[in-house]
């Protein structure tokens, strides 16, 4: 069943839809179905071992484990970024992308028509902590690369998310004030990027960061997925 859209007005969030000029999207968990891909991959491996449990029960356990692992990975990446050794993560991303067919993440449901509609009113960008080659491989394989004027990866700026530098880079490249940019993402690191760049933020539940965690860190508008964006932006 479709969840009700949670909207709590933020006094600092512009009411006028015409205020925003740029929408910057995260990739993993926002545009790409990476979380379900990981869960299904693990399920295929451990299902024979836990044969007495229902598929739903097994996937529930896997999801909790993946959520924990993703949080720990994000924290590890954050510290690696601050220690200037994040290039190790970038190399791993690029090695995976270099194998081509191994980057098999699907696009979120209804994302293409939503992006096409939004592109008629807003300029679009990508801000991801993924590697340059892996991000390029995904956007080109899905056929949406031309919709984005600027693509920022983990290798574009000195610091990646949750620094505000990637989003400020988007604003500079597109010659717009940073506060006219809107970040759309599924994690507290996406939220941190928006805050540090003095931009606005919309969270989506399609990733693995819990809604309570997003609210705790200040998310004021939380949608089921990017498919709900036209409801409040058009």
Report the C-alpha gap between 194 and 219 in whole angstroms: 10
Q: Using one digit for the tens of pLDDT, what is the confidence trace for 95-149? A: 554 444 445 678 888 999 999 999 999 999 999 988 888 888 889 988 999 999 9
What is the chain's length? 234
Alpha helices in the chain (DSSP H): 34-46, 55-82, 87-98, 111-119, 132-142, 165-174, 188-196, 211-216, 229-233
Range with the poorest average pLDDT among 1-15, 139-153, 211-225: 1-15
pTM score, whole prediction: 0.78
Cross-strand bridge partners of residue 184: 25, 202
Which of the pair, 141 or 86, is modelled with greater confidence?
141
Among 158, 219, 216, 156, smallest CA distance to 185 is for: 219
The phi and psi torsions of 126 (rounded to 5 degrees) equal -120, 135
What whole-number percentage of the chain has pLDDT above 90?
A: 38
* Boundaries of every domain in the chain: 1-234
Q: Residue with structure tokens 């490249």? A: 173
**DSSP, residue by residue, 137-187:** HHHHHHT-GGGEEEEE-TTTSSS-TTSSHHHHHHHHHHTS-GGGEEEEESS
Q: Write the class of the CATH domain 1-234.
A: alpha beta
Report the C-alpha gap between 13 and 202 in whole angstroms: 10
Q: What is the pLDDT of residue 100?
A: 45
Report the range out of 81-90, 118-127, 185-194 with the highest average pLDDT. 118-127
């Amino acid at each position: 069943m479709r969840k009700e859209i949670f909207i709590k007005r933020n006094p600092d969030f512009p009411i006028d839809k015409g205020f925003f000029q740029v929408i910057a999207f995260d990739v993993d968990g926002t545009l790409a179905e990476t979380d379900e891909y990981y869960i299904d991959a693990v399920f295929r491996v451990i299902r024979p071992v836990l044969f007495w449990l229902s598929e739903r029960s097994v996937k529930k356990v896997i999801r909790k484990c993946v959520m924990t692992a993703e949080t720990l990975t994000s924290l590890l990446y954050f510290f690696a970024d601050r220690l200037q050794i994040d290039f190790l993560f970038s190399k791993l991303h690029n090695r995976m992308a270099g194998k081509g067919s191994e980057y098999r993440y699907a696009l979120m449901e209804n994302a293409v028509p939503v992006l096409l509609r939004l592109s008629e009113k807003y300029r679009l960008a990508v801000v991801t902590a993924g590697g340059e080659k892996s991000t390029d491989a995904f956007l080109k394989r899905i056929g949406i690369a031309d919709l984005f004027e600027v693509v920022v990866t983990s290798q574009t700026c000195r610091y990646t998310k949750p620094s505000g530098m990637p989003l400020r880079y988007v604003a500079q490249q597109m010659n717009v004030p940073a506060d006219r940019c809107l970040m759309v993402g599924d994690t507290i690191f996406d939220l941190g990027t928006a805050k540090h760049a003095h931009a606005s933020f919309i969270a989506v539940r399609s990733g693995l960061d819990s809604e309570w965690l997003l609210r705790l860190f200040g998310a004021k508008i939380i949608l089921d997925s990017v498919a709900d964006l036209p409801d409040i932006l058009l």
